Structure 1
């Protein structure tokens, strides 16, 4: 009798289902780079340069000299790591400056930086300890895990459907018992959904929540720095800062760093820094990362870098749809619908053979029959990069039979 774990068997099962993944080494985080197979301790053997349409580095700031410079300065003057929890000795002026900037752009009284967006979601839901979370069915895994850890019950409503949300809340309130009386309700949704490229109907979600006195929590991971006049997100674009109780996001996408944040009123942030376990019991965000995020946010707010991204997005969407592809969503994330799992993987492989990296997204990440190529452009992609991407989609699509 054995009580161990058959990990080889589990890996074999993932291999059979087409779900086993492998690490590939990138030479740099940029719009164009070279890749190598996992060297497993040996020097990496990089191939030809490829154009990357597979990164969440939406503004192309991860290798920007201005961001690198402030990160290096923070490392030299403050330290490479925070050294402790923020509540011990890990709270620095670099963290506070970042949080002031985040609160300002989010229209909030205060913000709090976490070590990751995942930690922000899990820690916040756990600390709030809602009796019920009403969660969009396509919310990110970090929200789902936060609900598993911190919510007494989770009710899933149809994707981007405020009417279904309202119906679920009404059913809970009219359940024929006192179950809904006096409970703490939290409505949670992403603003931009990373696999479909669509946007939650936040105003309608807030309307539904208001009817039942529920709080609203919005994860702006894929929107921070890209929407609104001041780089805040969809919440700011829609003028909803005063109606969304908890605003979250990441520093690792458009802000080209690492970490996450929560923004809201003074009481929320003061409570979270005392009660969110993923904040209290975790070493603070590193000063270089905090400084890098601050500078990236400044660039997003004060320059037209986001406009460059949206111009590229429009060119790609027009080009792909003009070929006959169905492109989902309405944002900077361009999911090119293929349908069949095998066809999507083959299309991604043929794109890569032409020097264009864009991943195949397949079940269980997306429903059966909706496999797709997720195209994520950057503001730093050139006209030649975009043309190369479109040419590759045309040639590869004809070979696979997707066109």
Structure 2
């Protein structure tokens, strides 16, 4: 009988051959430093003896081990429970969820907000629920946006990365196409979707120019603030930093990065939120966010808004960028994400290995995650790194770069 299964061994061998195979390397704690284990497959991991500095995490404000955030999670677990127990529409809606959503709406300058089980679920569920006829999407948007467009069965028009002029040209082309076909473009629903901060390039979308184009052509704008929430004005994102709350109809983000928890959110009008809690399948058919996660995110957002963690992060970003560039490394981006672009994937792997040998964790990012010829080390400081940590990271890159022949 023919084997109609799957050649898993062959797939893994192909990944190995092309230096694309990934493996899990557990760490003992999520913080600015920790003990890592070697990849162990299905066996129990064994931690290394040397503690390493972490410069690869999305825990931007370093709040995962903040006592206030941990206490909020413990209190929610003791008072409300460890899990929601059901969909929010059944019995999984709690006062902890409502407190988080109230604070998110206040921070994002919207009427309401809605918490999802993940940022991925927020993107996929929102786009699919809106059912746009056409989505105009930045070419480097997150996979969850791309998958949301597929699930919505929308015609997707991709515009050049962070290029508002190309977006405007694509919008005009759509109008001209409809005119040629004898259709009225006003009959279509158009959605422009972009990340605000792009996770692999560190670039920041030109949101004001995007809003200008959207308003000229009557489109709605949806901005994913996953890598910006908590880091900008009053604990908001780039939308808040640029004062665009009234021009962006849909704001999304995650609770799992700067807010040190798990989950995602959508913020917008009351009508938008009511539609999503009825029509977003990833919300309706998922158990509600665990109360401890909601409480942790709520407290982390409060800390981000009223503490000094944001200022400390940006100080570390400036110090690290200046140091890397002064060595001769090419550093992309305009945000807290500092991609050290190497080019060749093997050089990037060698640089990452050299840095790791010096007890600094900053893995190589290579195709297919990024385009061929742009392999890089994605370097990200945290607010909780001190000056000595930043110096140690720079010294590791200096030594490893010279060893690999990149400097």
- Classify the TM-score, shorter chain: over 0.9
Q: How does 1:284-363 map to 2 (within 5 A)?
A: 284-363=288-367
Contact 1:27-1:46 at 8 Å conserved across structures = no
Residue in structure 1 matched with residue 392 of structure 2 by the alignment? 388
Match of 1:4 in 2: 5
Whether the 8 Å contact between 1:351 and 1:357 is mirrored in structure 2 is yes
SS at match of 1:337: strand
- Aligned equivalents of 2:154 and 2:360: distance in 1? 45
The 3-state SS of whatever aligns with 1:62 is: helix
Deviations 1:153-206 (A, max 9, x none): 100000001111011111111111216341000000000001111100000001
Aligned with 1:25: secondary structure? coil
In structure 1, what is the Cα distance between the partners aligned to 2:120 and 2:302? 23
What is the deviation of 1:21? Answer: 0.6
Residues 311-357 of structure 1: CA deviation (Å, up to 9, x unaligned): 00000011111111111011100001111111000000000000000
* Shift, 1:45, TM fit: 3.2
2:249 to 220, 245, 261: 245
Alpha-carbon shift at residue 221 of structure 1 (Å): 0.2
Aligned to 1:379, what secondary structure does the other structure show?
coil
Equivalents in 2 of 1:109, 1:72: separation in Å? Answer: 29
Q: Does 1:189 align with 2:190?
A: no
1:370 aligns with 2:371: no
Give the alignment partner of residue 59 of structure 2, picking from 36, 57, 60.
Answer: 57
Q: Name the SS of the counterpart of 1:36 in structure 2.
A: coil
Does the CA contact (< 8 Å) of 1:125 and 1:151 recur in 2? no
CA contact (8 A) 1:360 1:374 kept: yes
Distance 2:217 2:153 in 1: 18
SS at match of 1:174: helix
Distance 1:33 1:185 in 2: 46
Structure 2, unpaired ranges of 5+: none
> 1:37: how far off?
2.0
Structure 1 position 35, deviation (Å): 0.3
- Aligned partners of 2:315 and 2:141: how far apart in 1? 27
Alignment of 1:45-84 (within 5 A): 45-84=47-86
- In structure 2, the residue matched to 1:202 is 207
Q: Deviations over 1:92-121 (max 9, x none)?
A: 000000000000000000000000000000
Match of 2:217 among 208, 212, 221: 212
Range that drifts further, 104-113 or 174-183 = 174-183
Measured in 1, the distance between the counterparts of 2:39 and 2:370 equals 27
Q: Secondary structure at the match of 2:275?
A: helix
Cα distance in 2, alignment partners of residues 53 and 29 from structure 1: 12
Aligned to 1:142: 144
Alignment of 1:109-128 (within 5 A): 109-128=111-130
Q: What does residue range 218-237 of structure 1 map to in structure 2 within 5 Å?
A: 218-228=223-233, 230-237=234-241
RMSD value, Cα: 0.9
- Distance (Å, rounded) in 2 between the aligned partners of 1:395 and 1:73: 46
SS where residue 311 of structure 2 aligns?
helix
Cα shift at 1:78: 0.3
8 Å CA contact 1:132–1:151 kept in 2: the answer is no
Gaps of 5+ in 1: none
